[in-house]
Structure 1
């Protein structure tokens, strides 16, 4: 696709702009910050107590790439998944509204691509989308009813949100489902990466909060779930994920008929897969325990204790119980 990516759940990445502000624990080890701020110095990353940072729009040449991918996709009959944005957030409210309008114009102009719009700000999806669609090329705004070609969500765009633990699931998932109900995207998805604690994407609390937002009981389903462990990024060292967290999501997806994609285990694995590296113990709740504490308290009843080793993301790999999970949702064209 021209933009080679190692991300297993997409075929290409596109970044209309670069830069973001950290908003949740999943942002602590941000790949984009490590690359674009700490390594290359192209932008300043925002963070609580440090301001909103800076945003830089990418070049016209970069913006032209998706149209070339679209032509290739039309000729091949294959519909690639394009992740937007790996170095930013589409629904970042610090970005000029003109940039977001231009992005949605590009999405509409590339109907043979399936766009994956992943955000940590799902509560802003509807408002910022509608704001962008009301902006005309001359800088004025539509004050009356929008033309349908601008008001309707692009049929080739999916929306997703990151949920790294149960707290974020109960905060973010209802807003994603509200946006799904309001905008009718191609599909929706959850990115449980980095997975930092046990979580269940389907709970009575999430259902109740969603019904409060959408105003009726016909709650949309989740169409796709991605999981993954954390990796080292610069000075930030990866936090381990318990394999039982991945298993619980995998099994629930299987029971519900939802496509499940396991991207990676992260830097850590359970002892027995490899026999070298730094060793710790991890409880099912996510508490890391060192060897000395384990020697003093050998049982830890009911804590789901496992011994883990830091072996690096390449050795840790993508297998979950010996299986590679690569499922994607079917796209209706």
Structure 2
């Protein structure tokens, strides 16, 4: 449930509880749901939630001691097998998590959610906000961009260390992301309800001084039913981050990677998909861009080189 992780953007993962419910297309091939089914715990994706052992809850205290001894900070991804802001999780579990986060100040807690609309009300219900939390949300397609990023920006009023967006699995071109990258001034229509001003410093002109999302992560899907990620979708996010001066991390191609030499040398042994303009197809006759096809290589062979380089940006925030 914890300790070191292979996830490129964190040092550790920690699951205070396990179990979740599908809420969008990013959840279609959820690896955590697959884990639950393989281990005979399918009920965890049918409404049940299970708190992890006390021994697991003590792990972050150990990591905090190590970080303090080394004079560094560890990034902790919380919760890879759940969602911190899940409505079906008992409120006292979340309060206990907040106390643990407060007691581990040398850890940087990365809370990634598909339910950013719950962040403000659930934190206010707890009654305090640790200074070592970063809030993030998943944006796999344009619908998620429009539904979730406004709620994430509202959560900046709680004074997290920074905000981040995980575009994984990236399922389509996300389009123009600049309104959420560049900071104030923001059009009010991008933010839900009247709570968008809560916690922000209001300027003399009446405009809230709202920060941008400081860190963007993108990646393709892995697993047996993985959907390809078009190179142009990843490239668009990366170049927009460069223009806005915000951090970008390219996590992985996932199961599929651009064809190139792989297909030239192994044309009959690899699955191939091309983009039709609206979906992926194995029929070259209907591909909209015949030069940019994807081949199934598996996560390890596909790697994480984008335009011949790794991209390992992290947000610059005070220690």
Q: Please give the TM-score of this superposition, normalised by the length of structure 1.
A: 0.84
Matches within 5 A, 1:1-333: 3-35=3-35, 37-46=36-45, 52-133=46-127, 151=128, 153-180=129-156, 182-200=157-175, 202=177, 207=187, 208-210=189-191, 213=194, 214-215=196-197, 216-232=207-223, 237-275=225-263, 276=266, 277-283=270-276, 285-291=277-283, 294-295=284-285, 297=286, 300=288, 306-333=292-319
1:148 maps to what in 2? none
CA offsets 1:177-216 (integer angstroms, 9 cap, x no match)? 0011x20101110000000000036256995322865144
In 2: Cα distance, 1:203 partner to 1:327 partner: 18
Quote the offset at 1:43 in angstroms.
4.9
RMSD in angstroms over aligned alpha carbons? 2.0
1:49 maps to what in 2? none
CA offsets 1:286-316 (integer angstroms, 9 cap, x no match)? 511222xx33x57x4xx68622111111111
CA 1:60–1:183 in 2, change beyond 3 Å: closer, same or farther?
same
Structure 1 gaps of 5+ residues are: 47-51, 134-150
- Contact 2:274–2:290 (CA<8 Å) still a contact in 1? no
Q: Number of paired residues?
A: 297
Alignment partner of 1:178: what SS?
helix
In 2: Cα distance, 1:44 partner to 1:211 partner: 33
In 2: Cα distance, 1:273 partner to 1:187 partner: 40
Quote the offset at 1:271 in angstroms.
1.2
- Contact 1:282–1:305 (CA<8 Å) still a contact in 2? no
1:145 maps to what in 2? none
- Contact 1:241–1:286 (CA<8 Å) still a contact in 2? no
Q: Please give the TM-score of this superposition, normalised by the length of structure 2.
A: 0.88
2:202 maps to what in 1? none
